[in-house]
Amino acid sequence: MILTPWRWPLRRQISALGLMALVTVVLATVLALQSLRQTETARVTEALRQLNHTLGQLVKRYAYVHASFSERHMTDPLSSGDEQFLHSLTEATLAGAPGIEGGFFSVQNGQLLGYAYPTYQGTGPETDIPSDVDSATDSAERNSSL
């Protein structure tokens, strides 16, 4: 005689129920991990999109300033190393981009000029260039000389 599931002995029903619970937990764990990966990927993608957008704004603003200086036959701020002007330009551009800091790298003198971090959460303005930025500028300098 073949027993149908609702006619199984209680011990077998509990075992089947335990097996279904285990499969459910495993599937939920896999789904949670997959969701976490997608969330992390989405965060990184959004951060890169925001960074590229902000960089594009900075490039456009500098191009406008550069063209204006060229029309007047003046040395552009990056070539002359006008730290204060470049800082103002960077600060105005990055003010609407929380968590982004930056400036202009001068290939001529190997320095980061116009550094600003207008959305810094600490007390007072952030003026110290982080050490990881220094290593990035060293790398940029080596690559620009190739």
Average pLDDT over residues 41-58: 90
Average pLDDT over residues 62-67: 91
First to last CA, the chain: 83
**pLDDT on residue 111:** 81
Asked if 110 and 98 count as a contact pair (C-beta separation under 8 A), the reply is no
pLDDT at 59 over 70: yes
**pLDDT on residue 54:** 93
**pLDDT on residue 113:** 87
**Residue 82 or 141, more confident:** 82
Q: What is the Cα–Cα distance from 22 to 8, expressed in whole angstroms? A: 20
User: Looking at this protein, which amino acid is placed at residue 84?
Assistant: Q
pLDDT in tens, 93-117: 999 888 888 888 888 877 888 888 8
Instruction: Copy the structure tokens of residue 63.
Output: 């191009």
**pLDDT on residue 52:** 94
**Residue 40 or 16, more confident:** 16
pLDDT at 27 over 90: yes
pTM: 0.62
Query: What are phi and psi for residue 73, nearest 5 degrees?
Result: 55, 45
